[in-house]
């Protein structure tokens, strides 16, 4: 079994704890559903947020989903002029037998513009 990285991102309209948790939950659930894994398959998850997101750690959404044993870390994205605002990004490391070409990366809302090559 290999460890594969699954990328994803989603944007929010405003910096509020509820919106951050709801959006992160939506993103994680879609990543899980599209890639068919269980929390026990997850080696770790890295979350990043743009500097305009400060209300709550998005990792809390994973805990709320019951992913209590998964190692989680949150970081702030570097500030790049013209970058997409209010964006939550995730890198999920999953133990899987899938090949890289079978992994489905998920970009939602305005984050679709980040990787148009990966969005169906």
87 a catalytic residue: no
From 4, 86, 87, 107, the catalytic residue = 107
Q: Quick one: three-class SS letters along the chain?
A: CEEEEEEEEEECCCCCHHHHHHHHHHHHHHHHHHHCCCHHHEEEEEEEECCCCCCCCCHHHHHHCCCCCCCEEEEECCCCCCCCCCEEEEEEEEEECCCHHHCCCEECHHHHHHHCCCCC
Q: Is 89 a catalytic residue?
A: yes
Name the active-site residue from 40, 89, 109, 120: 89
Catalytic: which of 19, 60, 77, 109? 77
18, 29, 63, 102: the active-site residue = 63
8 A C-beta contact, residue 108 and residue 10: yes
Decide if 63 is catalytic. yes
Query: Active site includes 115?
Result: yes
Whether 4 is catalytic:
no
34 is annotated as an active-site residue = no
Q: Considering 4, 74, 87, 120, which one is annotated as catalytic? A: 74
Could you say which of 7, 26, 60, 109 is catalytic? 7
Does residue 107 carry a catalytic annotation?
yes
Active-site residues: which are they?
7, 63, 74, 77, 89, 107, 115
């Amino acid at each position: 079994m290999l460890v594969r990285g699954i990328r994803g991102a989603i944007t929010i309209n405003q910096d509020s704890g509820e919106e951050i948790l709801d959006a992160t939950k939506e993103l994680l659930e879609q990543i899980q559903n599209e890639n068919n894994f269980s929390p026990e398959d997850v080696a770790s998850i890295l979350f990043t947020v743009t500097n305009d997101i400060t209300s709550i750690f998005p990792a809390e959404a994973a805990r709320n989903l019951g992913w209590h044993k998964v190692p989680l870390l949150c970081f702030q994205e570097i500030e790049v002029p013209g970058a997409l605002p209010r964006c939550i990004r995730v890198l999920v490391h999953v133990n899987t037998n899938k090949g890289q070409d079978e992994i489905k990366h998920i970009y939602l809302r305005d984050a679709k513009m980040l990787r148009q090559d990966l969005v169906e």
